[in-house]
Structure formats: structure tokens, C-alpha cells
Amino acid sequence: MAVKKISIWQKAPQVVLSALLITTAAVPLGCQPRQGAGDTGVKVLDTFRASVYRSLDPPKQFDVASARIISNIYDPLLEYHYLKRPYELVPNLLETLPELGEDKLTYTFKLRKGIKFHDDPCFPDGKGRELNADDVIYTLKRFADVNVNPQSYPALLENRIKGLDEFREKTRQQKDLDYDQENVSGIEKVDSHTFKIVMTEPDPLLLMSFATSPLSIVPKEAVEKYGRKLEHHGVGTGPYILDKNPRKGVMVLKKNPNYHGTYPTEGEPDDQSQGLLEDAGEKLPLIDEIRLPLIEEAQPRMLKFLKGELDSIGIDRDNFSKMAEKVGEKFQLKGEFAGKFNIASANDLTSFYITINFRDKTFGQNKAVRQALAYALDTPTYIEKMDNGRGHALNTIVPLPIAGSEETIPVKWYSHDPTKAKAKLKEAGYPEGKGLPPITILYPSQDKITKQNHEFLRNQLAQSGFQLKGEFLNFSEFLQRKEGGSFQLSNSGWGADYPDAENFYQLFYGPNKAPGPNAGSYQNPEYDRLYEQMRRMSPGAERNTIIEKMALILKEDVPIVFLRAPISVGMRQKWLLNSKPNLMLGSTSKFLDIDTEAKARGLK
Amino acid sequence: MVGYTIRRLLYIIPTILGVAVIIFVLFNVAGEDPVRIALGQHATPQAIADLEAQWGLDQPLWKQFLDFLRQIVTFDYGASYFTGERLGEAFASGALVSLSLTLPPFVLGLVINIVIAMLIAYYRGTWFDRFSTAIAVISMSVSYLVYIIAMQYFLAYELEWFPINGYAPGWDAIPYLALPWLIIIVVSIGPDVRIYRTIFLNEMQANYVRTARAKGVSERGVLFTHILKNAMIPVLTFTIVAVPFLILGMFLMERFFSIPGIGDLMISAINNGDLPVLKGMTMYITITYALFNLITDLLIAAVDPRVKLH
């Protein structure tokens, strides 16, 4: 049917287009103020939060996002040296490292004098008072209180300090226990700035617990005033004061002018030439303000970094081949990125591997099958193809930056050899894989990357006669299956709780069998004996000899098959100074510096 | 009308109960275990028991369900397991932000899409109709995520027309919201125009339109006086049921543009098994959805005398 034209409709396309333009006309196009720009006299670190934190109350946090902020606001008694590797404990709130008594059980801690908490309304007149031994004792008791901290106590202090487990049991029976009325036999105040801690048995690794963010010192006044609100507030002695804390917006941390720390005066051999000792001895923190917008997606983070609106960023798998490459053992930026930015890389403190369940009939009683699996897997190719080379093919379970890794333990893991893998399968009674039932590997995720990694493993193992099936579970189901022992193989990883080989070798200690960290329930009396000996020793050559024996036992028995130890690669703006990755510090912000003039130029 | 409204309000009670049972079974019985997620690998049995006790998950299921019903009545679902934040606080800080993200493009998109649909319906059967319909189908075939990624890259990063992401309170939010608004409108054009076009075409073939034309009513009069008014009934239905979801923001949009709304509350609660948030959000959706359904029915009755409320 013919329709009579109406003039308004002839103009309709322009009307629609105009309406769209009106929507955006409110935007002063192309002249947005850049974040980070402004007064060049103020040093601002523009970084980001990749996820929402769970709690800013130290004993209640159990996630990286929280730890990072807590480490800026609060202080633990000890910390790790910013520049030295392998990681080395240094005093933070203490005058010196704690002294071990002749009984090998008692540590004496001496607090530095004059360290003050941030100014806060919880203190009389709002002025932060001086830190003293009572604060540490209160913090330890609160950390042990099961109603405050059901989470991190078992990993950090359980069975380690005399009387503290009993105190924890009391808090389980009585919710509002008055800490002042309850003495813990292993914690003794000597004077206002000195206290002693008595261990249940000699334990050279205990001090590492006092360098973790959950054991940061919290004043009683803050807990009493803020209660649960302390989870979103902060009153510590740390380098920064929490200034703004919106749920999802830009968190702002302001410099604590009374901070006690100074920049280290020594480091590794290359640090001087890299300019990392330019600020040696300077009062910390060096930056006035930290801005932490919540940016959960990789694309906006990268775009903002490229525009100069962020000072540093990690390079993810999707961007890596476009931006960087691996040349020999080093990483470098490519093309336009090479001149504009600095690259930073660091070995992570995590090992990824496949756990073999010793309660499974196919694997548990048949060493040759396990060895066949170790020969069948081409780890260097896996790292190259699936991770752009951002990983290290492990020879022992301990990642490189940790004392007791393969750098001091001369053990070589299996190299990829399908012929030997087939020979081992034949020895195990499965020539060419005949008669070997399909094997199933559990994964704690159903995402695309996990499935791609599985495809690689499946194809590679098929060349040696293994038929691999993947079972992709949600996280809690994965944990339940693993701890219940109902699996054959499982995709696993372990991140260091503290930087010592013991933390990784305990994964194969018999008494730690499932549901403990020894998820494969591997048992070897000789290994257990060596482990018990090693864990009571201080680092050194004698201990390394024992670690080497343990590594050789694991190589022979193959309770796990290594996948990789990741290497993090990131970019830094040229104006960001003193940047050196340190994965044992919750945050390195207090050591960083900004060339404000260069930053202002870069943002123009 | 009053009796009908009261009856319909009472019908919401069994709906809520039904949803409560489903939610409870899905999350308290069959879902992710929040305690295991919180404690991670190798948690000791004692640590698991301690946290279960702290969160009340050591209670028998029937008691947990009764607690849930009490929470529904009191509108107090407790604090998030993972952030310690009460749902009310999260809503207070984020709901208006989410609304500022979703409401303007919703209203503007509605107007634009109705105009485009009327145009296409008016030129039905011509190259313009076929071309516009093809564009609508093609635009619907592209993922929402692709629109966000592409428009953020080209319009904000390459052309620098907008900030890449971020947010500022009050009127200062407009520059940051402009690109998300534009994306929401662009994404809505394809599906909405197709639906509205169908609605208008159906109306155009109705007997009353032929009668109106036979009586000599101008084409403009037919379109605006008759077709538009009648077509608004299904459009209204289609639109009003979407209103409760406006306050929930848009998960992807908020993530990509760092807009501090509450779009992620539900997703992160599902991922973490954060029961207080899950229950609160689900009940909010259920109740508001039921209420808006009722409002839709009442409005349709108001604009269409043929509709009788029983």
C-alpha cells in the first residue's frame, strides 16, 4: 500500500543521530583531565586494585588484595629485605633480629623506641601513641582468638608457642574472653619494649611467621572503638594512612610523616648499577600519596597504563607476544614498547605440578607408570607454548628465589623422552599403553585457559600411550575431591607461606597426608626421617645435603610431575624509580619513588 | 481494583516462599561451599568447623532455613561473609550509581528505539526496512562484550573522546558515564527495534487501522493517535519488567569502566558462595519483579479499557 510521506519522517534519521549525540555532548570530548596529572611537587603513585579486598583487619584477611593494603597501613615485627635474594629476614619494628636463648626455645624481642601509631580518634586527643610490648602481646592473643581468626592461625602459629593453643581453646569455649586476665605461658613481657616468646620445640622457621601481614600489630584502642568496622578502617604504624576508602572507587593512602623506616643501604651486586641504591638511607616512604582505583578488567588497565595513567602493570598471556619476548633467559619489550617503558620480571614463589594419588590402583603401587608419566611430559614446550615462555622448568619442588632451591641443590628432573616413557610403560605391564585404562585429572576451574592447558597435556601424553581425560570442577568441589582422596591425578600448585624449602618439602611428609597438604598421600619412611631432621636445622650446607637426598627420593618415587614455576613479567613507566619485584613483601610502595617532572611530561 | 491489588499482593507470598526454598536448596545444600572457598586448600578440620560455627553453617538445615525466613521478614540478611559489609550498606553506596549508569540510556534508548521501529514499520517492505532489519540482526549477533571492548578501545583510547574508565561523584560522573551510556544504547538498538517493529506491524494490520484510514484520518493521525497508543501496551509490558534490573546495574559495564555500582554483587556472591548477599539480592529481585508485574497489569488496565482485572 502506498504511504504518503510525512516530512518529519524524512528528517527522522537526523533526529535519531542528534539524540545520540546529545547523549554524549555533555562530554568535553578529547580534553579529559588525566588521572595522575597535576602538581609536580606531590609524588603520587598511580596503581590499581584488581579485586575488592575482603578485610583490612590483619588477622581476618586471607587474600592478596587485603594483604597488599594492610602492608601499607600496618607493620609486622619483621620483614624481608627489599633488595637481597634469596629473601632475607630483617627487623622492622624491632631493634635487631630476635635473640635465641641457650635453651634453643626462647626468643627475646626488643621493640624500637619512638614508633607511633597513626593519629586516629581511637586515641586520647586523636594523637597516635607509642608502640609497646603490650600491643604485641595483645596482637598475638587476638590472632589466636578463634572468634577473630578461624583462618590463618593453624598455618602460622599452631603448635609453635607454649600455651597459645590452650588460649585459643579457651576462646572457643568463651566468646568474649578478657585477654588481660589470661596469661599465655610462652609469651612474657620483660619491660615496656621487650618481650619473650617460648617455643614448644626448636623451630628455626618461627620468625618467618612474624613477617606476615596477618600478624601485623593492631592497637587495642582501635579494636575497641571500631569493632567490625576495623575491617574497612586502619590504625597501624605503617608507612601510609588510609585516607579514602570507597567500596569500589579510588582508595587513597597518604604518607605517614612519622614512619620509622629507612631505605636499605645494601643489596645485590647489580642493584647499585641499576640505580636501586640511589636513595640508600633515606627516610621512608618516598611517595606522598598512593591512588588505588578498582580496575578489575585487563583491557582498561592496559589502556590506562599505555596512556601513562598507571605507573606499572603486569603483562598477561594475551598481550605478551605483542609486547614482549624472551631472549635466552631474559625478557625484553618489543617495538614501540621498548623505548617507552621499562620491563620487570621476577620468579614467582609458586610451583605448579600434577599430584599423583598414591591410593589409586593404577599409580599408587606402580612406580614405573609414574616414571613413564614424568618422561612423557615436555615441560619446556608446555611453558613455551602455553605460557609464552613465562616460566621455569623445575628440577626440584622449590621455586628459584627461595633458599634450598635447585640453585644450591644439584638435582636434575626427568627430561622429555617418549621412548623412555614407552619403555617404562612396558616395564609397568602396559606395552604401548595397551591395557592402561584412561586416566582422569582434576582441575579446580572450568575456564578457557585451563581447558587449553588440558588439551596440550592430553595431546602430549597420548604420544607416549596415555589417554588423559579432564574433569573440570568448581573450587570447593575440587578441594573436597582431593581431600577425600577420590582422584587419580590433580592439577596442583603451592605458593610459599614463607621463603624456605621446608614449606615445599612438607607436601610429601607422611603425617601431612590428605586431607593435609600431602594431597597424594605419599608415604616414604626414609623421606619422613630426613624431613624431620631438616625442619629443625638452620639454613646451611649440612641442611642442603639432606634436602638433596630428599629431592632424589622424590625423583625416584615421582609423587608429583612438575609443570612449571611461573615468572611474572610486567612493565613500568620510566618515571617509576627504585622498582624491584619483591614477592615476600605485601607491598613495596614505601620503597618506590617518582620522578615527578618526567611523569608530568609523560602525561601531557 | 483495590481488591484485585490486595489479592495480587498476597499472591506474592507463596512466590517468595517458593523462591526461598529453591535458593536455599541451590546454595545452602548444593552450591559452592563458602567455608572451603574462604579457607582455601588444606584447611584443618578444626578451622573448617570454627568458620562454619562463626557463620552459623553448623546448624541443622531446618534451622538455617527458618533463619532465612526470619531474614526475609526482617529484611536483614546479615553481613557478607567476605567483606563484612551489610547488604543495606552496599545498596546505599552503590544502587544510585548503578541507576545513574542504567536509567538514562534505558529511557533514551526506549525513545530512540521506538522512533526507529516506527520509521521501519512505516517504510515496511522497502529497502530501508530490509536494510534496517538486517543491521538489527547483525548487531544482535555481536556479543555485548565485543561492543564494550571495541568501543572502549577505539572511542576512549584511540580517539580520546572519553576517559578510558573511572568515576567521580555527582555531576562529575557524566564524562565517565557517557561512553557506557552510548554502548548500552547501541547494544539495545538491535533487539529492541526488532521487537517494537513487530509490535507496530501487528497493530498496522489491525481492523481499527483500516477503519480509521477509511474514515479519512491522516497517516500521521493513524500512526500517533491509534497505532502508537495501542502498541504501547506490549511495549509497556516489555519495558516495565526490566525496571527492577536497572538498580542491579550492569556487571560487565561496571567492571570495564570501574563504575562503583552493585552490578558485581550477585556475580561475586555466586562465585564465593556468599550466602547473605546471595539471599538478599535474590529476594530483592523476586519481590521487586513481582511488584512490577503487578504495576504492569494495573497500568495496562488503565490504558486499555478492554482489560478487566479479576
- Quote the cell numbers at residue A134: 603490650
Name the residue facing B32 among A26, A27, A474 (closest C-beta).
Answer: A474
Chain A residues within 8 A of B123 when measuring between CB atoms: 3
**What sign does the dihedral A51-A52-A54-A56 (CA atoms) show?**
positive
pLDDT attached to residue A371: 96
Decide if B163 and A32 are in contact by the 8 Å CB cutoff.
yes
**Mutating which of A473, A476, A491 best tests the B interface, going by the most B Cβ atoms within 10 A?**
A476
Give the Cα separation of A394 and A206 in Å (integer).
27
**Which residues in chain B (185-214) have CB-CB distances under 8 A to chain A?**
185
Per-residue pLDDT at A20 exceeds 60 = no
Do A476 and B37 make contact, defined as CB atoms within 8 angstroms? yes
A-B C-beta contacts closer than 8 Å: 162
* pLDDT-based confidence at residue A8 (cuts at 50, 70, 90): very low
Q: HEC string of A137-189?
A: HHHHHHHHCCCCCCCCHHHHCCCCECCHHHHHHHHHHCCCCCHHHCCCCCEEE
Q: Which amino acid is at B38?
A: A
H or E, element range at A254: strand A250-255
Judged against a pLDDT cut of 80, whether residue A372 lies above it is answered with yes
**How many whole angstroms from its chain centre is CA A233?**
23
In chain B, which residues have their Cβ closer than 8 Å to the Cβ of A306? 157
Contact yes or no for A293 and B258 at CB 8 A: yes
Contacts of B166 in chain A (CB under 8 A): 35, 250, 293
Task: Return the half-sphere exposure (C-beta side, CA atoms, 13 A cut-off) of residue A136.
Answer: 28
Residue B234, burial from CB neighbour count under 10 angstroms (0-12, 13-18, 19+): middle
| A chain contacts of residue B174, beta-carbon cutoff 8 Å | 26-27
- The residues in B 88-147 lying below 8 A from A, measured between CB atoms, are 90, 93-94, 104-105, 108, 111-112, 115-116, 119, 122-123
Residues A483-506, mean pLDDT to the nearest whole number: 90
Q: What pLDDT, on a 0 to 100 scale, did the predictor assign at position A16?
A: 36
Is the pLDDT assigned to residue A562 strictly greater than 50?
yes
Average pLDDT over residues B40-59: 81
Contact A436, A534 (CB under 8 A): no
Do you find a cis peptide bond into B163, omega within 30 degrees of 0? no
- Residue A279 gets which letter from DSSP? T
CB A390 within 8 A of CB A314: no
- Per the CB < 8 Å rule, is B47 touching A150? yes
Of B33, B42, B54, the CB nearest to A517: B42
Whether residue A293 is preceded by a cis peptide bond, meaning omega within 30 degrees of 0, is no
Residues in chain B: 310
Are A515 and A359 a contacting pair, CB within 8 Å? no
Question: What's chain A's Rg over C-alpha atoms?
Answer: 28
pLDDT at residue B228 tops 90: no
Helix, strand, coil percent values for chain A (each to nearest 5) = 35, 20, 45
Chain A residue with minimum CA distance to B268 = A52
d(CA A560, CA A539): 25
Cα–Cα distance, A585 to A591 (Å, whole number): 11
**B260–A16 CB contact, under 8 Å:** no
Taking the C-alpha atoms of residue B39 and residue A51, their distance in angstroms, rounded to an integer, is 18
Return the half-sphere exposure (C-beta side, CA atoms, 13 A cut-off) of residue A315. 30
Q: How far is CA B280 from the centre of its chain?
A: 16
Q: CA–CA separation, A382 vs A393, rounded Å?
A: 9
Segment A29-67, tens digit of pLDDT:
334 444 444 455 799 999 999 888 888 999 988 778 899
B174 close contact with A: CB closer than 8 A: yes
A430 or B46, which is more confident: A430
A296, B255 contact by CB (below 8 A): yes
Chain B window 265-304: which residues touch A at a Cβ cutoff of 8 Å? 268, 273
Instruction: Tell which residue, B212, B61, B178, B275, has the closest CA to residue A24.
Output: B178
Nearest-by-Cβ selection for B255 from A16, A35, A297? A297
- SS3 (DSSP) at A196: strand
pLDDT the model gives residue B308 = 64
Tell the burial category of A343 from Cβ atoms under 10 Å away from its Cβ (0-12, 13-18, 19+): middle
Does residue B40 sit at the A interface (CB-CB below 8 Å)? yes
The torsion defined by the Cα of B45, B51, B56 and B57, in degrees rounded to 10, comes to -40
In degrees and rounded to multiples of 5, residue B89 shows phi and psi of -65, -40
Mean of the pLDDT values across residues B125-129? 89
At B243 the pLDDT is 75
Q: Does B54 touch chain A (CB under 8 A)?
A: yes
B181 touches chain A (CB under 8 A): yes
- Whether B172 has its CB under 8 Å from any CB of chain A: the answer is no
Cβ pair A232, A518 in contact under 8 A: no
User: What is the per-residue pLDDT for A13?
Assistant: 36
Of the partner residues B39, B116, B153, the one whose CB lies closest to the CB of residue A151: B39
The cell for A200 is 614448644
Closest by Cβ to A24, choosing from B47, B115, B178: B178
pLDDT tens profile A446-463: 888 899 999 999 999 999
**Which residues in chain B have their CB less than 8 angstroms from residue A28's CB?**
175
Of B32, B175, B264, the CB nearest to A32: B175
Looking at residue A323, what is its pLDDT?
94
Chain A residues touching residue B160 (CB < 8 angstroms):
30, 32
- Which residue among A13, A28, A294 places its CB closest to the CB of B175? A28
- Residue B165, C-beta contacts closer than 8 angstroms, at least 6 positions apart: A295, A300, A304, B152, B156, B176, B256, B257, B258
Mean pLDDT for the stretch of residues A140-163: 90
| Digit-coded pLDDT (tens) for A311-358 | 999 998 888 989 999 988 889 999 889 989 999 998 999 999 999 999
User: Quick one: average pLDDT of A282-303?
Assistant: 94
Averaged over B111-129, what is the pLDDT? 88
b/e string for B80-118 if b means 16 or more Cβ within 10 A? bbbbbbbbeebbebbbebbbbbbebbbebbbebbbbbbb
CB pair distance less than 8 Å for A27 and B161:
yes
Give the pLDDT confidence score for residue A379 in this predicted structure: 93
The answer to whether A508 and A559 are in contact (CB under 8 A) is yes
Decide if B164 and A294 are in contact by the 8 Å CB cutoff. no
Mean pLDDT of chain A: 89
Q: How far apart are CA A566 and CA A352, in angstroms?
A: 8
Cα A350 from Cα A373, distance rounded (Å): 22
Instruction: Determine the average pLDDT of the residues in A216-220.
Output: 97
Residues of A in contact with B264 (CB under 8 A): 248, 296
Distance in angstroms (rounded) separating the CA atoms of residues A56 and A240: 13
Could you report the per-residue pLDDT of A102-127, keeping only the tens digit for each? 999 999 999 999 999 999 999 999 99
Option in B32, B115, B179 nearest A16 (CB): B115
| Range with the poorest average pLDDT among A47-61, B7-21, B153-167 | B7-21
Nearest CA in chain B to A18: B112
Give the mutation candidate from B29, B48, B50, B162 for the A interface (greatest A CB count, under 10 A). B50
CA angle B196, B197, B199 (to 5 degrees): 60
Mutate to test the interface with A, among B131, B147, B164 (most CBs of A within 10 A): B164
- pLDDT exceeds cutoff 60 at A380: yes
Min Cα–Cα distance to chain B from A20, Å: 7
Q: How far is A498 from chain B (nearest CA, A)?
A: 16
According to DSSP, residue B158 is labeled: I
> Is A112 exposed, middle or buried (CB count within 10 Å of its CB: 0-12, 13-18, 19+)?
middle
pLDDT more than 70, % of chain A:
93
* Contact in structure between A403 and A500 (CB atoms under 8 Å): yes
Contact B44 A154 (CB under 8 A): yes
- Which of A27-36, A67-76, A360-369, B191-200 is predicted least confidently? A27-36
C-alpha cell read off for A283: 627516610
- DSSP class of residue B205? T
Q: Which H or E run includes B202?
A: helix B173-204
